[in-house]
Amino acid sequence: MIKIAPSLLAADYLNLEAEIRRLEGAGADWLHVDIMDGVFVPNISFGPGLVAAIRPVTKKYLDVHLMIVNPEKHLKTFRDAGADNITIHAETAGSLPAIAAKIKSLGAGAGVSINPDTPLNKISGFLNDFQLVLVMSVNPGFGGQVFMESTIGKVKELKRRISASGSKALIEVDGGINEKNAAALREAGADVLVAGSAIFKNEDMAQTIRRLKA
Ligand code: DX5
Ligand code: ZN
């Protein structure tokens, strides 16, 4: 069964605990936390303090997406704050095997992400180092953007390469995901779908999450 990871970027920040309760009640599987530094991406969002504030109020798996330069410098901080999974970007990390090893040594799941313009070849040699590969279906930095259809083929090919390599990595897709494109992503081989606007813009979150899954 595919997992749904609502992105807190689209939540009501002033009422975050209540938003998390709504998501739990609506059947969310993971909580996706977007960390943006204004350098790797044009926007600034949250820091480790937010992850630490969320940690005691939920048992949900905290999926932390680092859109930051020098992610190596901040892994322990985010793990100490309570991240269950830490995903870095291949475009800005140094050695991918080294960073994966470091994340795992901290006891978190290790994820690697690629932007829409980044080819799969950038990460293909490292599929066994990571537990998760995050394929961006928009240019990272903002919620509410339009899904890039080219992602479907990229996910299919990634699925093929993961199977061929013997890796157990999950495929996560992030950006512009809604009830219209979710089915194609599931068929292409996605294991986790991140969704921000699609979930928060509909009053009936449970209905949206069901439709994204079914
Ligand atoms: C984009 C972020 C996404 C974003 C998704 O840079 O990584 O997680 O919040 O939001 P929607 O679903 O609105 O595209
Ligand atoms: Zn994200």
Residues 6+ apart with CB under 8 A from 213: 1, 2, 4, 27, 182
Distances (CA, A) of 115 to 17, 22, 182, 186, 206: 30, 30, 19, 19, 29
- What per-residue confidence (pLDDT) applies to 130? 98
Domains defined along the chain, listed by start: 3-213 (3.20.20.70)
Q: Could you list the pLDDT tens digit for every one of the 214 residues in the chain?
A: 999 999 999 999 999 999 999 999 999 999 999 999 999 999 999 999 999 999 999 999 999 999 999 999 999 999 999 999 999 999 999 999 999 999 999 999 999 999 999 999 999 999 999 999 999 999 999 999 999 999 999 999 999 999 999 999 999 999 999 999 999 999 999 999 999 999 999 999 999 999 999 9
Residue 192: per-residue pLDDT? 99
Q: Is the pTM of this model over 0.95?
A: yes
Q: Ligand 1 pocket, 143 CB below 6 A?
A: yes
Ligand nearest to the CA of 195: 1
Q: Which of the listed residues 145, 151, 181, 199 should we mutate to test ligand 1's pocket, taking the one with most ligand atoms within 8 A of CB?
A: 145
Concatenating the DSSP letter of every residue in 62-110 gives EEEEEE-S-GGGGHHHHHHHT-SEEEEETTT-S-HHHHHHHHHHTTSEE
3-state secondary structure 144-176: CCCCCCHHHHHHHHHHHHHHHHCCCCEEEEECC
pLDDT at 194: 99
